[in-house]
Each structure stands twice: as C-alpha cells, then as structure tokens.
Amino acid sequence: MDIQSDSGFVPEFSNDWALFLDVDGTLIDFAPRPDQVSVSKELLDILDDLRIQTGDAIALISGRPIHDLDQLFNPVKFPMAGQHGLERRDVNGAIHLHSMPDGEFSRVKDSIIEFAKNKDNLIIEDKQHSIAIHYRQAQEHRDELEIFLEACMKKIGMNFHLQSGKMVYEIKPHGKDKGSAIQEFIIEQPFIGRLPVFIGDDVTDEDGFEV
C-alpha cells in the first residue's frame, strides 16, 4: 500500500495508529461500473496484517453501502462506515443508521432514474438513503446532468446536498460524512486514544482529512 503526500514526507507506520481507509480509488481501482470491481486475496491479507498490527483499530470508510462492502471483502467483516457515514458498523458488529428526513427524496430519485434512461451510459446507484449518478462512461452528458441535478436539489430543500466526486455526483442527506464517521469511531474501543490516520484519494474524502 503506497502512502503519498504533497510534501514528499511519508510517515513511518506506527502500531498506535487508528487506520481509516477509503475503498474505491484507494484500496481498489475504479472500474467502468461500480459492480465491476473486486478485492484480491493479496489485499485481504494486507488488511488482515494491518488489523493485527493495530490491535483491530482499522475501519473502511466508503461511499458504498455496507451490504456492498461486505460482498466485496467477504469473508472478512471489518468495522466500516457506508454511504459517506449514513450507516456505520462498529467493532462489535452493531449497526448505526442516520435518520432520514422525510419529503421529496423518493420522488426525486424516481425522476433521476427516469432522466438516466434517456442518456446512454449514465449509471445510477440507488443506495436507499442516497443516490449516486456515475458519468465515467458518459462524460458528454456531464453539463446537462449537473443542471438537472441542481434543479432536483431545489425540490428537496436544505436537508440534502449535492456532492461531486471522481466522475460521479451524489445526493445525500446533510449531517453525516466521512469525517463524522471517523469522529464516531475514535471515541470507541479499540480506536480511542490512537492517532487517527485516514487514507483517501477524492474530494469526498476531504471531510475525513479535516478530522
């Protein structure tokens, strides 16, 4: 696993770290479709070694739902935060869910899905509590997509926000992000009292870096 910094300084690994790892673009490469990625046995072995060295203080922090992450990293069930912190599984296996605001979100999701039907290669990822629109294979639709999504945002008010990432837009509720997920982990065992180290690659990871 390579760790890079703009300064060129790479800190020496410490057993006192609490490791928080982004998945897509960090642990695994992006694929044309979210369901086309895979996790190698070599990566699982590396993560298991890190888990042992840190005394189980390792968690995955991802935009993917926990269900999808479990399928990817099967048979290992790591502590993890899914959907950018909207759902979280602690080290004991308990699931913590962010309450969803009522309103227009389900109807907006339907309109986004309908919009994508008429645009070749736009990929919709309905995560139940959020929705992602991938345009990696449809970059010619990016401007039109952005205008459409901004119009959608006006329908669902201040409880949601539009987040951009690498070739993806996502609409999700306010109040939870990768940073808030890390903050919740570091007040729990075995993370408490350790130096939190978050490794990511995208603008969606910036909330985690701020922690």
Q: What's the pLDDT at 101?
A: 62
Same domain, 54 and 152: no
DSSP per position, 9-76: --PPP-TTEEEEE--BTTTB---SSGGG----HHHHHHHHHHHHHTTT-EEEE-SS-HHHHHHHSTT-
CATH number, position 188 = 3.40.50.1000
Catalytic residue among 6, 22, 24, 202: 22
Tokens of 172: 């999700």
Same domain, 84 and 23: yes
Q: What's the pLDDT at 72?
A: 96
- The domain in which residue 122 lies consists of 105-173
Report the number of distinct structural domains present in the chain: 2
Q: What's the pLDDT at 204?
A: 63
pTM score of the predicted model: 0.82
Q: Tell whether 40 is covered by a domain.
A: yes
Q: What's the pLDDT at 10?
A: 60
Where do the DSSP E strands lie in 56-194? 58-61, 80-82, 87-89, 95-97, 123-126, 131-134, 160-165, 168-173
pLDDT tens, the chain, 211 aa long: 444 444 455 678 888 999 999 999 899 888 888 889 999 999 999 999 999 999 999 999 999 999 999 999 999 999 999 999 999 999 999 999 987 766 678 888 999 999 999 898 999 999 888 999 999 999 999 999 999 999 999 888 788 889 888 899 999 888 888 889 999 999 999 999 999 999 887 666 656 666 6
CATH number, position 122 = 3.30.70
Same domain, 87 and 180: yes
Same domain, 46 and 93: yes
Q: What's the pLDDT at 32?
A: 84
3-class SS of residue 101: coil
Same domain, 122 and 22: no
Same domain, 59 and 116: no
Same domain, 38 and 91: yes
Same domain, 111 and 130: yes
CA distance 76 to 41: 11
Same domain, 92 and 185: yes
The answer to whether residue 35 is catalytic is no
Q: What's the pLDDT at 207?
A: 66
Same domain, 91 and 115: no
Q: What's the pLDDT at 98?
A: 84
Same domain, 75 and 131: no
Same domain, 136 and 160: yes
